[in-house]
Structure 1
């Protein structure tokens, strides 16, 4: 059997520190994140997983007193460069949050919103195509195609989260960040989202923060373990879960702390 070649690096984080006023939340984290793969961030609550995730689309910029130092190289450019427009960056880096947050609009308008504001479609038929393609990619089209003009908030929790994923991919991002996307969902909806993540990684670089080690083991190819704002260890998911290098990782995986 031929070996699978490693994916090219999509996001290269170098020496990232994050401060909230005088308090340091992230300490000198460097990691390469591969394209067309899922990288999972695991670790105890409050260890910096979500803070680090938000560095990749400069969401920390929106928090008063937050300061990020270090380089995050994406497609050859440092996204922390003052000349980089964060709005444009966020069109390349989609985000799916912990709690499904559809806009108070129709299902159609939820998905069409990004394409409209970023000028991705000039005519209605182009917009229709983006909406259908995005909903199909999010495994939601068959369930909603007859009620596109009803409110997105009327969907079930799992459907709302898939709608948010459709909204994220409608603007043709290159990276999708997911911050505990299943924590508010039941097991059946969670399984659907996990299947979807596995399908999407064929076309996207996906980074997921999860409190569920089982989920990380199921969906990711690479896993990074965080503790107290530091990256303790990162490697192939199978290795992290079966034969980690660091005793602290081992202790967390086996439930001795966290």
Structure 2
């Protein structure tokens, strides 16, 4: 089985670092880079682009709400036209830096609370995915399972790579449960690895309510800002390769 292994990176700000991006890039095949709204700044973005390019890791824009203090995980009521401009702005920032560094932006994803809103709202998904398609019709979208995003992408001729968030709980519809719920974020690495193993072997995850839910992800996502992210990424990679799978950048799976 060929599958992408990716993480959200470039999420520091100024002298503050969030995770070990350089070490993670030795393990990943794709990276979603913060674009300065929920986290990140120009020097961190550029450095991460250059490090990813040197390792042959796919580069994508991870766009979110303008919410550094809340790390983009607080819901914000913003007019869709403003959100559209914010998404374009973030895509443009990373695209410009990637071009300057001789790299290519292959994909994009929605971060945190914005991602949860888009995944559950067909109208908002239609608006923002259309903006992505108008910005660059060749971009792939990496997303957790979402009928709204998948339908909007199909209408715009964009490809979607469904990603399995190994450390996040799912509801019975395949959407991520709110972080406010107990055990919505799974910190036990043994549990995370068991979920990855089940997904690889059975293509299913056990939902928050305890039901098995079928899923066919093309990517596995880890959060680079969580403690132990590097060791977890190494273990997940070993688990995939020990089972005969290959870690392949997302652009080579769908591009």
TM-score, normalisation: structure 1 = 0.35
Return the structure number with greater strand share.
Answer: 1
Which structure would you say has the larger Rg? Answer: 1
